[in-house]
């Protein structure tokens, strides 16, 4: 009689407690899977993957400071276990996952989709050779590059739903700790992202960083006024007043020097 396989040792990495709870709940019904750890940030996850060497990692790609792709880079493709990427929405990343045969889950995670994804991931974790996985991870990171393709739409979660906002519809953005408040018309939304990460992804033909905590849609600037010590006040079309920072005054100056 063939001995049964030992449980698959799985790890959950997501900075959202509700998202971790959802995955933990779905995995509770899987007798062949053992959760060996949950982590709320990429830095802790890197060390945990190195120390515990799980068979499978559910890895959120949109985490502040160190995102899912950063985790893969730091651990090293050759040392990574099987991966199921988890994301709210990222059109470019989803296409890359499909091209390179990586499983992924869209938030909020659907039970039926989760079950089919887990079946495939379990088979890959048991049978995928390390070189094949490493090569595919390297190819995935190579395609996504250090700067991922500009998002056509930005996912914003509100009231249990996900709204997809075109970048050009955003008026301005402000840092709020490890989150960013996105101002769209009369509404504002808080998203899990750092302003620096968004700056690297959003098109610089549309957005300009004017302060360490502020980015603005250039098309929304109605007037630029000189302020104290060489800084500027920017008046937006809706009446919002934003002040530039010392390190960014040359960027603001370039707007009216071109006129």
CATH code, domain with 180: 2.40.50.1020
120 and 184 belong to one structural domain: no
103 and 183 belong to one structural domain: no
- What is the per-residue pLDDT for 197? 76
HSE value, Cβ hemisphere, 13 Å, CA-based, for 76: 7
Q: How far is CA 83 from the centre of its chain?
A: 16
In a domain, 159, yes or no: no
120 and 19 belong to one structural domain: yes
Q: Is the pLDDT of residue 65 over 80?
A: no
- What is the per-residue pLDDT for 5? 73
136 and 172 belong to one structural domain: no
Name the residue among 59, 34, 39, 67 with its Cα closest to residue 51: 39
Q: Is the pLDDT of residue 200 over 50?
A: yes
pTM of the model: 0.68
18 and 80 belong to one structural domain: yes
Name the residue among 100, 104, 10 with its Cα closest to residue 62: 104
Please tell me the least confidently modeled range out of 97-106, 140-149, 155-164. Answer: 140-149
Of 84, 110, 144, which marks where a domain is finished? 144
Backbone dihedral angles phi then psi of residue 10, each to the nearest 5 degrees = -115, 150
Alpha-carbon Rg for the chain, nearest whole angstrom, is 21
- What is the per-residue pLDDT for 241? 96
Total count of domains within the chain: 2
Percent of the chain with pLDDT over 90: 46
CATH number of domain containing 51: 3.40.50.2300
Q: For 42-59, how does the pLDDT look when each residue is reduced to its tens digit (9 = 90+)?
A: 999 999 999 999 999 999
137 and 195 belong to one structural domain: no
Q: For 216-254, how does the pLDDT look when each residue is reduced to its tens digit (9 = 90+)?
A: 999 999 999 988 887 899 999 999 999 998 888 888 888
Contact 46, 21 (CB under 8 A): no
Mean pLDDT value of segment 93-121: 89
Averaged pLDDT score across all residues of the chain: 87
- Structural domain of residue 43, as residue ranges? 8-144
209 and 251 belong to one structural domain: yes
HSE value, Cβ hemisphere, 13 Å, CA-based, for 101: 10
Of 110, 144, 178, which marks where a domain is finished? 144
């Amino acid at each position: 009689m063939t001995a049964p396989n030992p449980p698959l040792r799985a790890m959950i990495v997501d900075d959202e407690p509700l998202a971790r709870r959802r995955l933990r709940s779905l995995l509770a019904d899987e007798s062949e899977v053992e959760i060996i750890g949950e982590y709320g940030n990429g830095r802790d996850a890197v060390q945990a993957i190195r120390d515990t060497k799980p068979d499978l990692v559910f890895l959120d790609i949109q985490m502040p400071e160190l995102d899912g792709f950063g985790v893969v880079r730091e651990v090293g493709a050759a040392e990574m276990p099987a991966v199921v990427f988890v994301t709210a929405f990222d059109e470019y990343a989803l296409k890359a996952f499909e091209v390179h045969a990586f499983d992924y889950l869209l938030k909020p995670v659907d039970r039926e989709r989760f079950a089919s994804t887990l079946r495939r991931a379990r088979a890959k974790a048991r049978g995928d050779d390390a070189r094949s996985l490493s090569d595919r991870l390297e190819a995935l990171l190579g395609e996504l590059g250090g700067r991922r393709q500009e998002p056509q739409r930005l996912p914003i979660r509100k009231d249990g739903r996900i709204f997809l906002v075109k970048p050009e519809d955003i008026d301005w953005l402000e840092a709020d700790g490890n989150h960013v408040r996105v101002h769209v018309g009369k509404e504002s939304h808080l998203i899990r992202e750092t302003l620096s990460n968004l700056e690297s992804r959003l098109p610089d033909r549309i957005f300009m960083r004017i302060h360490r905590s502020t980015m603005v849609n250039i098309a929304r600037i109605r007037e630029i006024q000189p302020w104290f010590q060489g800084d500027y006040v920017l008046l937006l079309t809706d009446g919002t007043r934003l002040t530039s920072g010392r390190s960014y005054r040359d960027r603001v100056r370039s707007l009216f020097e071109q006129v």
